[in-house]
């Protein structure tokens, strides 16, 4: 593993974590939102505060907080091991971005007992799941991993 690749990808980890946590600290501790607030931004986007007691999409919402933290911790440990052993820059960036977002949500889970979600998109009576900046980082990291692992054209050396 080249140390330079690792150091570069740590930027993605810390950026994802920092943006997520600064946003949540601002909204929860400075603005003082507690839950249920709704600000209509556009006809298809609302800025809200919803507490997610489950994992993704509210899955396992009735599970013990210890079980949820355990599942998240094990998943993050697996990703960290993959990050250490990864040999391409894009894979390291993707994993680091996912880990930054995952740690942001884990911090919420430990601090508040639930994850603070803020962004609600909707159209034609359909509401997508409410999400936060950590979820955006996780999705972005997964897109990076998909590109490098599955969709990268043969012979592309951009990830080295």
How many domains does the chain fold into?
A: 1
Q: Tell me the average pLDDT across 66-83.
A: 84
**Does residue 18 belong to any structural domain of this protein?**
yes
140 within some domain: yes
Q: How is the chain classified by DSSP, letter by letter?
A: --HHHHHHHHHHHHHHHHHHHHHHHIIIIII---S--EEEEETTEEEEEEEE-SSGGGTTTTS-HHHHHHHHHHHHHHHHHHHHH--SHHHHHHHHHHHHHHHHHHHHHHHHSSEEEEEEEEETTEEPPPB-HHHHHHHHHHHHHHIIIIISPTT--TT-
55 occurs within a structural domain: no
Tell me the average pLDDT across 1-28. Answer: 88
Residue 128 lies in a domain: no
pTM: 0.84
User: 40 in a domain, yes or no?
Assistant: no
Asked whether residue 53 is domain-assigned, the answer is no
pLDDT, one tens digit per residue, over 123-154 is 999 999 999 999 999 999 999 999 987 876 66
Q: What's the chain's average pLDDT?
A: 87
Q: Is the residue at 9 inside a domain? A: yes
Active site residues: 117, 135
Structural domain that includes position 72: 3-29+61-113+133-151
Asked if residue 35 belongs to a domain, the reply is: no
């Amino acid at each position: 593993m080249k140390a330079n690749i690792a150091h570069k990808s740590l930027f993605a980890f810390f950026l994802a974590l920092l943006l997520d946590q600064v946003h949540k600290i601002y909204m929860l501790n400075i603005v003082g939102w507690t839950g249920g607030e709704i600000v209509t931004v556009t006809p298809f986007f609302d800025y809200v505060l919803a507490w997610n007691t489950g994992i993704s999409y509210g899955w396992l919402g009735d599970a013990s907080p210890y079980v949820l933290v355990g599942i998240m911790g094990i998943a993050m440990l697996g990703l960290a091991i993959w990050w250490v052993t990864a040999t391409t820059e894009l894979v390291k960036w993707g994993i680091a971005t996912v880990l930054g977002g995952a740690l942001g949500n884990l911090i919420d889970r430990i601090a508040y007992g639930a994850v603070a979600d803020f962004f609600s998109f909707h159209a034609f009576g359909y509401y997508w799941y409410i999400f936060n900046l950590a979820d955006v980082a996780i999705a972005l990291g997964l897109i990076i991993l998909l590109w490098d692992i599955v969709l990268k054209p043969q012979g592309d050396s951009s990830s080295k």
